[in-house]
Each structure stands twice: as C-alpha cells, then as structure tokens.
Amino acid sequence: MDQLKEAIVKIVTDQLYRLIVSKPFVKGEITKVVVRPVMIKGQLLFQETAYVGTKVLHHNYSDREMGERLQHYLQEEFGQLEAECADCRMTILTNKKGTVTVKMKKKTGSVPELSKKPLLEHNRVKRYLLEDGEPVDFLVALGV
C-alpha cells in the first residue's frame, strides 16, 4: 500500500488536470468519481464530482483529505484511477485482493507545452458567439 500512497501524493498537486476513478467493485452506489483542482478564495482545493445514478454530487477537499479519499476509494470501492497531470499520465489498477499496479508515462514535448498549468478557476467564464455588451453591426441596423 506504500506504492499506492506514493502514487497518490505525486498526482494530488496543482499540476493535476483531471483524475477519474472508475470500475466499481460493487454496482449500484457511486459509478465514477472525477477530481480536478480549483482555486477558491486563494486556497487550492480539489473538487470531487461523484456520479450516483442520475445524481451528480460535488464536494471540495484539501490535498490531504483528497489523498485519503482516493486511497480509500482504491482500497475499498474502485479498481482503476486515471490521472492526467502537466508532466505525466498515470494509471493505477487495484483489485479486491489488494494488488496495486502503477503505470506512469512521462509526457514528451516542447518546454512551453509542459509548463502549461491547468485552469484553476472555480466559476469559469462562458464563451458565447456574440459577447454580451458588444455591439454587432447587423443587429444594430435591424434595431435589436
């Protein structure tokens, strides 16, 4: 289990883009969990989105709390974790017997691509075809 804990510590950072926990051992409860980093009131938190049937539940946790939750998920409830970070992609596979397999693949590419950080905004600005408040010539001509 030390291997699992070390792997989780590597990925639960501000370099995380997205993390998906799937393949539940028991069908019925939570089918999938998605985690992404968010910045709320100047503090880095991790937003957990749990899919329970047709419901989607959101909770925010600190890095320590999220690490503990992920460790619990992989030991008790789920068999797979896929994480994409700024510099690597990691897959963790577990089974009911407690066997843990960690596969990590470093990203290759140019330096600017690797230095890209994930978006941490909690409330993202929506992008529209026509921006609000900007005049559009043909609509002005129509009197709209």
- Encode pLDDT of 1-24 as tens digits: 688 888 889 899 888 999 999 999
- Which pLDDT score is estimated for 112? 47
- Which pLDDT score is estimated for 117? 59
More confidently predicted of 60 and 108: 60
More confidently predicted of 110 and 139: 139
- Which pLDDT score is estimated for 140? 85
Is residue 28 pLDDT above 90, yes or no? Answer: no
Going by C-alpha positions, the residue among 117, 123, 125, 124 that lies closest to residue 13 is 117
- C-alpha R_g of the chain: 20
Q: Could you write out the three-class secondary structure of 35-73?
A: EEEEEECCEEEEEEEEEECCEEEEEEECHHHHHHHHHHH
The answer to whether the predicted template modeling score (pTM) of the entire model surpasses 0.85 is no
- Encode pLDDT of 65-114 as tens digits: 999 999 999 998 899 999 998 888 999 999 888 889 999 898 776 544 44
CB 13 within 8 Å of CB 22:
no
CB 136 within 8 Å of CB 119:
no
More confidently predicted of 32 and 42: 32
* Domain parsing of the chain, residue ranges: 2-114
